[in-house]
Chain A
Amino acid sequence: MTLNATPVATLNRRTLLVAAAAAGGGFSLGFGLPGSGPARANQVREINAWVVIHPDDKVVIRVARSEMGQGTLTGLAQLVAEELECDWTKISTEYPTPGQNVARNRVWRNFSTGGSRGIRESHEYVRQGGAAARMMLIQAAAADWKVPASECAAANSVITHKPSGRTVTFGKVAAAAATLEPPKDIPLKDPKDWKIAGKAVKRLDTLDKLTGKQLYGSDLRLPNMLTATVKACPVPGGKLKSFDAAKVEKMPGVKRVMALDGIAVAVVADTYWSAHSALAALPVEWDAGPNASVSSATIAAMLKEGLDADQAFVGNKTGDAKGAIASAAKKVEAVYSYPFQNHATMEPMNATALYMADKCEVWCPTQNGEAALAAAAEAAELPVAKCDVHKMLLGGGFGRRGRSDYVRQAVLIAKQMPGTPVKLIWSREEDMAQCQFHPITQCKLVGALDAKGDLVGLHMRISGQSILASLLPQNLQNGMDPVTFQGLNPGGAEGMFGYNIPNLLIDHAMRNPHIVAGFWRGVNLNHNAIYVECFMDELAHAAGQDPLEFRRKLLKPKHLAVLNAAAEKAGYGKAPPGRFHGLAQIMGFGSYVAACAEVSVSDAGVLKIHRIAAATDCGVAVNPAQIERQVAGSFVYGLSAALYGECTVKDGAIEQTNFDSYNVLRMDEMPHVETVLMPSGGFWGGVGEPTIGVAAPAVLNAIFAATGKRVRSLPLMNANLKRGA
């Protein structure tokens, strides 16, 4: 047995130890020959890249996307199993490694797990994988029985020859099926005929999370392993000037102190606490570089200038917004702002690397296995074919683990200690300092109402940071970042603007501070939804109309349907005494979502979010129970951001250091979330992120209804909601 392919749901301490023992006392786990994963071994049969069937009918479904709590592992397995017609109780899952994907010509396609893409972008080919395997199993049985395959059918891992009633299980014909040519024409089921997919089946990966058996990346223990921790220059763009290793080298357990890339220093020791203590005691001098005097105030001024700048990238334009505004019966204007925020995954960044002269292996939680492999190979200065990455379960991802900076660091450390596995764990403080933050933006909105109070023009100017400019400048289009316009696009399946406004201009003045921006669960939809939906509320009040009725006149059908559903579920307009409702809707990541929040605000200004009704139209729903959990969880993430999420900058560095200075929502503040799942069919939308967009604006609009106070700058903890204040 090797760890070449990692059994996701069952990787625990015992299997690792067994694997280590089976690898002959070494710990070079999983260095199989390219293209010869465990499924090629004699005792089990790989029907195709997605499906392995054992003689005892056990089914292994391969999953390329990373599980980080969002349930993609279970959902993708449901899709394969549905088409395979296998017994759901006999399945398990495993990750192919990124190295195997390279060796097999990317047979598993994209490993990247972000943008709520897991199911919506791979549903077709994984279902085809399941369906093709079923067809091959049936064909093998039919050939054995010498009957036409068309007379046979599969259900629950059993193939039946309908005229004779003969049956055989998948395990019995798997060996023969594995030798057949895969079919070319692979019809898929209509979702209305689904028996496993579309159902609220339990997650496959729960039990070990309740007993302490589940291994995360930071739990990995390999023979002779050392543990490292690291500190990088707190000011992005700065450098490591000097450090005095002699001061800590004699501390208990310390093995090495080393610089990384000229910007960070690492301590390697026998345990995390030894490494952490030595790093804390290590005298380090930084060269803060050109950004040493940047502060939140200077960044805010930089963005403010962009609100009225002449140059801006146009994301959505209809008619003549500026003309409509100039001739408006009533002009409404507001400026909003959204801060930097940290993902704050519960498990800090970590990676374990083992470097040998001619190969390098990494074990890590990653949302992008292929990028992690590329980063490992680059840091090791070895060909990709000499490296591999073993994906571990993520203790949260939220976009942060799409980056491979911590993988590079682990390999750089291990490279200086060949033959010794080194586990790098960041402290929470390092994680807070070296995030790739939610981008910072401001937005100026100007609306034109005619004499009847109808919205005839809107100019929305976003000023601020581009994620692509920060992380993927090669993906900019003539300098423009199209991702900036999430939820604001004129059309398309990704994030279409919901309102029909005759004169519309949405543009972006890109202003990029030195703080690195990254993909943060919900991405640009988060602030865009706040800007649009809070301003729609402002316009409705300026027009003297109810915010729901005002929107009803403007919204496109699917956007309106979810808003109506959320309003109805919440009993919009019929809030109990002392409570108030606020609405928001948005489309993003392929799905339509809306929320109605019910809040109260005491005279002293204490906000209580009592309940939220949330509607989702994701087209096709693969696991309703997991969608409900993603929706409820999205409010925790989105309301944490709305209430507390703010990373400020002083002397070029992020000021927040831990959960005491970067607070998040806890149980006592959690509203009751009621989910309306209304998949209208015909498209596949994501569910991990879109709902985050409506969390903050629904609450902000409810706060206005309760207090008459319009909060336009987040987080809410900075606002005074006290009556009369």
Chain B
Amino acid sequence: MVALTINGKTHDVTVDPGTPLLWVLRDTIGLTGTKYGCGIAQCGACTVHIDGVATRSCQVTLESAANAKITTIEGLAENGVLTKVQQAWLDNDVPQCGYCQSGMVMAATALLKSTPKPTDQDIDAAMTNICRCGTYQQVRAAIHAAAAKA
């Protein structure tokens, strides 16, 4: 059994400790906001925060996530109040299909935490998530908007 701390709550998980955190979150815990896109850390749809660091959860095993503080997309807004990143995404009407946007929001949240006023180059370096609808231009605008509000 592995104890996971997710969005401030502790969960005792009994599946194979080698299971990727992504699938523990989705199938065992039921937090499906974290998405499966590739399974090889290419697309970023599964991005969560592990001890505050944006991490691709498809490459993290359950056992290695024990004792860490995990935040998923469901854990960002508190009492229904959106974070400034989520609000900027809403204001800029960023998502199209939206499937990659959990990962985008998690990556952008971590970026703004470490780099509150990112340049376009900072954004290019940090935001390597794939979006097939092509929301990159709106993602960039929303990150700048969120940074401006800080």
Contacts and interface: CB of A to CB of B under 8 A. Distances in A.
Contacts of A397: 97
Nearest to A637: B134
A629 B96 contact: yes
A398 B134 CA distance: 12
Interface string A617-656: 0000000010001001111110010000000000000000
Interface residues of B, number: 59
Contact of B134 (A215, A344, A635): A635
B82 interface: yes
A665 B98 CA distance: 17
Given A210-B90, A211-B73, A273-B19, A346 B99 contact: yes
Contacts, number: 182
A71 interface: yes
Contacts of A522: none
B96 A210 contact: no
B40 interface: yes
A393 B98 contact: yes
Contacts of B23: 271-273
Contact of B96 (A70, A219, A668): A70
Given A69-B98, A211-B33, A667-B124, A659 B89 contact: no
Contact of B32 (A209, A215, A396): A215
Given A272-B23, A637-B132, A672-B137, A207 B97 contact: no
B97 to A, nearest CB: 3
Given A634-B134, A637-B132, A212 B98 contact: no
B16 to A, nearest CB: 6
A395 B99 contact: yes
Interface of A: 13, 68-71, 202-203, 205-207, 209-216, 218-219, 221, 227, 252, 271-273, 343-348, 393-398, 425, 427-428, 625, 629, 632-637, 640, 658-660, 664-668, 670, 672-673
A427 B97 CA distance: 19
A48 to B, nearest CB: 30
B34 A346 contact: no
Given A633-B134, A660-B40, A667-B128, 6 more contacts: A69-B96, A206-B90, A210-B90, A210-B105, A346-B45, A347-B37
A203 B98 CA distance: 12
A215 B35 CA distance: 11
B5 interface: no
Contacts of B30: 13, 221
A203 B135 CA distance: 14
A206 B19 contact: no
B139 interface: yes
B68 interface: no
A398 B132 contact: yes
8 contacts: A69-B95, A69-B98, A206-B94, A272-B26, A396-B133, A632-B138, A637-B132, A658-B38
Contacts of B94: 206
Of A202, A428, A672, most B-chain CB atoms within 10 Å? A428
Contact of A346 (B37, B73, B93): B37
Contacts of B148: none
Interface string B63-104: 000000000111011000010001001100111111111100
Contacts of A667: 123-124, 127-129, 136, 139-140
B15 A271 contact: yes
Contacts of A227: 27
A659 B139 contact: no
A106 to B, nearest CB: 27
Given A69-B96, A203-B93, A629-B93, A668 B32 contact: no
B101 A345 contact: no
A633 B133 contact: yes
A212 B34 contact: yes
B86 A428 contact: no
Given A212-B34, A212-B74, A252-B16, A428 B134 contact: no
A473 to B, nearest CB: 29
B40 A658 contact: yes
B96 A71 contact: yes
A427 B33 contact: no
Contacts of A213: 33, 74
B60 interface: no
Contacts of A668: 124-125, 128
A71 B94 CA distance: 12
Given A271-B23, A668-B125, A212 B73 contact: yes
A344 B134 CA distance: 13
Of B27, B28, B101, B102, most A-chain CB atoms within 10 Å? B27
